[in-house]
Amino acid sequence: MASCIFCRIIKGEIPSFKLFESDKTFAFLDIGPLSKGHALVIPKHHGAKLTDIPDDSLTELLPVLKKIANASGAVDYNVLQNNGRIAHQEVDHVHFHLIPKPNESEGLG
Ligand code: 5GP
Ligand code: ZN
């Protein structure tokens, strides 16, 4: 979708720190990280809410999320996925937040 910021990131029209790309999935660092390594994993298929995304895209996405969680080295982490304004969704292209939770000695988290 031409006006969607995450579709534009997938196309390379807006720069991002890319972590992973495959046929159906894209992952990059969040521009406003809640902790070091805060990543966003998204389906390439544009859809605002989880229920708009085809099953095959979701099937491919989850193992990618797992790989990135492993690669981050985080022992503890949150996976968040917001749907709709009341649920705090700001960007209307489905995205899974992966938010590593550092030890207290490592600072923010
Ligand atoms: P939401 O509140 O919709 O679940 O989260 C949207 C996330 O997208 C936020 O954490 C925000 O920092 C991130 N974000 C918004 N615009 C950009 C952008 O242009 N580039 C990157 N890398 N992240 C973005
Ligand atoms: Zn989009």
* Under 8 Å between Cβ of 57 and 44: yes
Residue 72 has pLDDT above 60, yes or no: yes
Structure confidence at residue 102 (pLDDT): 85
**96 and 81 Cβ atoms separated by less than 8 Å:** yes
Per-chain mean pLDDT for the chain: 95
Q: Which CATH number fits domain 5-106: 3.30.70.260, 3.40.50.300, 3.10.110.10, 3.30.428.10?
A: 3.30.428.10
Q: Among 4, 13, 16, 31, say which to mutate for ligand 1: greatest number of ligand atoms within 8 Å of CB.
A: 31
Mark the residues whose beta carbon lies below 5 A from ion ligand 2.
1, 4, 6-7, 46, 93
Cα separation, 61 vs 29, whole angstroms: 16
Is residue 10 predicted with pLDDT exceeding 80?
Answer: yes
Ligand 1, residue 34: give the atom nearest the CA.
10
Residue 108 has pLDDT above 60, yes or no: no
Catalytic residue list: 95
Can you give the pLDDT at residue 25?
98
23 Cβ inside 6 Å of ligand 1: no
Q: CA-CA distances (angstroms) from residue 32 to 29, 39, 94?
A: 9, 10, 17
Task: Work out the pLDDT band at 109, boundaries 50, 70, 90.
Answer: low
Q: Which pLDDT band, with edges at 50, 70 and 90, does 103 fall under?
A: confident
- Extents of the domains making up the chain: 5-106
